[in-house]
Amino acid sequence: MNGSPFALLGHNSVTAVMAKVMAALIPGIIAHAWFFGPGIWVSLLLCVVFGAAIEALMLLMRGLPLKPFLADGSVLVTAALLALALPTLAPWWLYLLAMLFAVGVAKHLYGGLGQNLFNPAMVGYAAMIIGFPVYMTQWPAPIGVAHFTPSLAEAFDLVFAGAGAISVDAYTSATPLDAWKTQARQGMAEADILAQSIFGWAGARGQEVVAAMYMLGGLLLLANRVITWHIPVAFLTAMALTAGLLHLADPAQHAPPLFHLLSGGAMLCAFFIATDPVTAASTPLGKLIYAALAGFLLMIIRAFGVYPDGISFSILLANVAVPFIDAYTQPRVFGHKRGGKRGQA
């Protein structure tokens, strides 16, 4: 070992990468709080606390040092993504279980940081949507639509003590994705559906702004070279194309592409979840294929599945294909012939 290079890029660490991701999430989180009330802070806090505790426990059990691995910030990102993906104001144990599946199972049982095949946050989400589908549909209604938007203190109460006397319907509503699907199936006209208060100018009320903020954060990540353009572009393009074709084929059943891009977790997924380097494809062409696959699957699940949104399943399915995609999309090495055979995993 002779140690070179001795020069290292400054301000560069896993912690710095995770900090940039967290910073890029801030506009979206603030928009979320603005449109859906301060409940998001409660779920964020819970996910972070549970996540850190589970991470520490797993590290202890695996005999690994706590400090460098807690400091890497990866659990913070997982926690934030799950908090944003899960419904706000769900019972506290839902966040605990979700983080247990994310950090305990998907991350550490697979070998910890960098070793996991599946996106931890999406494993946590998928476990909850399978295990507790009812809770997963109770999303807070946007301010102005809800009869009641809990304050921070009330949000804590709801999360820890349950709704009690308050009806869940007072502060939650069907998600627009859900609403569209059920109402379109019932034969309601597009214009009538979109005229409802939970819908905004192009997508879901409030959510469309949150989505725009996620996109803004994603562009910051692009500018900071934390992510490359391949995954967001391929993901959103595949989504839009699939949604567009479905809408053209049957406008009465399928919402227009823009609605899909600005609803649910699409933007969060495109810039923050699908771009998780550990579980995404790594070659330029591989990223395009992987993300296009995820975007396409997301639309198929949204259009024909029983679940309101499909980000977790689409990402997990695409994760499965990553080793295969990477093996067959290795770029040409300098000095090798074009189309020459490359190493295959």
Interacting residue ranges for another protein, rule: CB under 8 A: 1-9, 12-14, 16-17, 68-69, 72, 74, 112-115, 228, 277-278, 280, 282-283, 326, 330-336, 342-345
* Cβ proximity to another protein, 164 vs 341, nearer residue: 341
- What is the distance between the alpha carbons of residues 90 and 136, in angstroms, rounded to a whole number? 8
Q: Within a 13 Å sphere around the CA of 228, how many CA atoms are in the beta-carbon half?
A: 14
Number of residues that this document lists for the chain: 345
Terminal Cα distance for the chain, rounded: 27
Cβ 287 to another protein, closest distance in Å?
Answer: 9
For Cα atoms 229, 313, 232, give the angle at the middle one, nearest 5 degrees. Answer: 10
Give me the residues paired with residue 139 across strands: 173
Cβ 74 to another protein, closest distance in Å?
Answer: 8
CB 221 within 8 A of CB 211: no
* Cβ proximity to another protein, 116 vs 263, nearer residue: 116
Cβ 321 to another protein, closest distance in Å?
Answer: 15
* Cβ proximity to another protein, 164 vs 338, nearer residue: 338
Cβ 24 to another protein, closest distance in Å?
Answer: 15
Give me the residues paired with residue 173 across strands: 139
Tell me the three-class secondary structure of 176-230, residue by residue. Answer: HHHHHHHHHHCCCCHHHHHCCCCECCCCECCHHHHHHHHHHHHHHHHHCCCCCCH
Cβ 143 to another protein, closest distance in Å?
Answer: 38
* Cβ proximity to another protein, 67 vs 192, nearer residue: 67
* Cβ proximity to another protein, 242 vs 319, nearer residue: 319
Cβ 65 to another protein, closest distance in Å?
Answer: 9
Amino acid code (one letter) for 316: L
* Cβ proximity to another protein, 69 vs 95, nearer residue: 69
Cβ 72 to another protein, closest distance in Å?
Answer: 6
CB 229 within 8 A of CB 235: no
* Cβ proximity to another protein, 110 vs 132, nearer residue: 110
What 3-state DSSP class applies to 139? strand
Nearest partner of 135 among 176, 91, 179, 99, judged by Cα: 91
115: tokens are 């070793």
* Main-chain phi, psi angles of 50, to 5 degrees: -60, -45
Task: Provide the Cα torsion 208, 273, 58, 99; round to 10°.
Answer: 30
Cβ 7 to another protein, closest distance in Å?
Answer: 4
Cβ 342 to another protein, closest distance in Å?
Answer: 7
CB 313 within 8 A of CB 126: yes
Nearest partner of 313 among 331, 295, 289, judged by Cα: 295
* Cβ proximity to another protein, 192 vs 338, nearer residue: 338
Beta carbons within 10 angstroms of residue 336's beta carbon: 11
Category of 73 on φ-ψ map: left (φ > 0), alpha (ψ -120 to 50) or beta: left
* Cβ proximity to another protein, 13 vs 182, nearer residue: 13
